[in-house]
Structures are given as structure tokens and as C-alpha cells.
Amino acid sequence: MAIAIMSSGGDCAGMNPAIKYFVEQSILKKLNPYFIYDGLEGLIDNKIKKVSFENVSGIIHLGGTIIRSSRSKRFFDKKYRLQAYKNLKKHKITKIIVLGGDGSFRAMDVFYNEFGIKFVGIPATIDNDIYGTDYCLGVDTALNMIRNAVDAIRDTASSFERAFVIETMGRECGYLALVSAITSGAEICVIPEIANDLDYQKEKIQFEMQNGRKYLLAIVAEGSKKRKNIKKWCEKELKIETRVTILGHIQRGGNPSVYDRLMASSFVKKSIDRIIQKECKGEVVVYKDSKFEFKNIDEITSNKYKLPQNLIDLYKDSYCQKCKG
């Protein structure tokens, strides 16, 4: 039985450990493992190769994905999906593990309904914004990359008595910014999901500045589109020199954390065990309430991810309470 793996959409740390475990688990179960290089584009262009242990030796510590990734407009056209199917048929591949987000899973669902190619999606995105799962592969490493950057920025902020506005990734989801702000002790946090009352922030920060605070950190989610506004606000309302740092793509890279490596192995094992069962069609493996389960792709794509309530409560306690000093 031939089985393939591919990355689709944005890359993240944890993909390479998943790829390594995929090859090892496939061979252990007497399956023939294949790589699909360059995601959906590679599926169309027949960048498909049978692999062995040699192909995954020494990759577990590497960020990114050795099989590369892509975003494909061509895959929306049925003639290219047909070409992709013919390529898989040449290699006798009927099952695919997909490392990606809900857009990739949606594309594969269409592919399954047209040609019967089974798939299991593994949520892999640093935004951590896929419905039905508490955790997506790569988010832990991204949070640690942000932590390192914020800690370094704090050093220079304190040296010059400045404010720094630090923008994290997250197109529509403030998970990275929120967790990073809480765990770094940032004075300001701005995310798209929750309205930010700067009057409360101002009173609290001014009280702290009157009692010895010499610098401050503001962590802003990319999706809020408030980076420039917060910089101007700090300068105008707090009268403090302010700099902006956009962390950008460093958040996607770096050595996968222990947790991302561990979860990669669990995601892959569960996915392979599931995809070889007859009743499996097109599903996504999720990690919810400390256990793995499988969800239908329709449930994943028809619902919107919401920040966990415990994080929202922490946000409100930290950033929405009027200072009583």
C-alpha cells in the first residue's frame, strides 16, 4: 500500500519531525512511503518520490519542511486536479497525510470527493487558528521564538527608557500575541478578537511610571492592524519615545521545540493508524481537551476558531481592569 505526505500553505517548525515519523511509521507498518514535494503544486507537477530512512536521517532538529510547501491557484481548476490524480495513480498512491491549515484541508476534501483519494489532515500553523483543536503543530516553537525576541527587546527598551511596539503574526487570530503578552509581562496587548480600552491602559501605565517604570512593551497582533496607532498613542498619551519591531518570518523558523517534536510523532501515528482503516475518507486529527480525536472536514471548515476562554479571562484580568492604585 502506497501512502504519501505533503506540506501545504505556510511552513512551521514541527513539520520535519512529522515527516521523519511518517517515514518510520509507514515502513514499520509495511507501507510504501512517498514524498510530495512543493505541496499542491508538486502534486500537479508530479514531484513525487518514493523514500526510505535515508531521506529523513538527521532532519528532526530542522525548522521548516524538507519537502517544501506552496500555495496553489492552479489546484482550483479541475483540469489540474485531474492531472494530480493521474500522477498519484502512476505511483499507486491512494492515501495522503497533509500538513497544513483549513484551506489545504478544504482543497483535499474537493479532491477526495472527485477522485476518492483518502486523506488525513494534521493541523500545522503557527496562528493556532484551526477550529476543533487546542493545538496546531508549530505554535509552541513560534511562541518560544517570540519569547526570545521579546526578552532581547526588553533589554534595549530598559537601557534607553523607551516603549517598543512588537508585532506578531496572526492574520485573523490573536493567539500568538495574547499568549506572548501574558507570558512576557507586556504592558499592552492588542488583538483583533477583543476590544482594547486604552483609557484603562493609560491610567495603569501612568501609575506604574509614576512609581518607577522606565519602559514598556506593547505586543500587537498583525490582524488587528493597530501597530502604527499604538506607536502614536504611546508617544502622544504617555510621552515616551517609541520604536516598532515587526518580528515577521522568524516566527516560522527555528529548531522545533520538544513539545512540537513530541506532538508531531503523536499526530502522525494517529493519522496513519486512521487512514489505513476502510471507513476513513477525509478527516482531520485534532488535539482537544488533552486527547486526540478525528473530525470531519465539514465541521472544521464550517466553524470559526475562538480563543480559549481561560486566555480571554487572563486578558481581561491583565489588560481590561481599571487601575485601583
Domain ranges, ordered by start, for the chain = 2-138+256-301, 140-252
Local confidence band at 324 (pLDDT 50, 70, 90 cut-offs): very low
Q: Which three cell numbers stand for residue 88?
A: 498519484
What pLDDT is stored for residue 323 in this prediction? 45
pLDDT tens-digit profile of 72-117?
999 999 999 999 999 999 999 999 999 999 899 999 999 999 999 9
* 282-288: strand order across its sheet: 48-50, 32-36, 2-7, 93-100, 118-123, 282-288, 291-296
Average pLDDT, integer, range 52-72: 97
**In the predicted structure, residue 325 carries a pLDDT above the cut 70:** no
**In the predicted structure, residue 322 carries a pLDDT above the cut 60:** no
**In the predicted structure, residue 120 carries a pLDDT above the cut 60:** yes
* CATH architecture of the domain formed by 140-252: 3-Layer(aba) Sandwich (3.40)
From residue 307, how far is each of 173, 225, 249 by CA, in Å? 8, 18, 23
- The residue among 33, 32, 180, 40 whose CA lies nearest residue 106 is 40
pLDDT tens-digit profile of 16-32?
999 999 999 999 999 99
Q: In the predicted model, what is the mean pLDDT of the chain? A: 95
Residues recognised as catalytic: 127
Residue 142 CA to residue 121 CA, distance in Å, equals 20
Q: For the chain, how many residues are written?
A: 325
What pLDDT is stored for residue 321 in this prediction? 64
What pLDDT is stored for residue 149 in this prediction? 97
**In the predicted structure, residue 315 carries a pLDDT above the cut 50:** yes
pLDDT tens-digit profile of 298-307?
899 889 999 9
**Does 140-252 match 2-138+256-301 at the fold level?**
yes
Average pLDDT, integer, range 220-240: 96
Q: What is the pTM of this model?
A: 0.95
What does the CA dihedral 129, 133, 135, 136 come to, rounded to 10 degrees? -60
- In CATH terms, the fold of domain 2-138+256-301 is Rossmann fold (3.40.50)
Per the listing, cell 517515514 goes with: 23
Local confidence band at 195 (pLDDT 50, 70, 90 cut-offs): confident
> Using alpha carbons only, what angle is made at residue 273 by residues 269 and 276, rounded to the nearest 5 degrees?
140
Residue 144 CA to residue 1 CA, distance in Å, equals 39
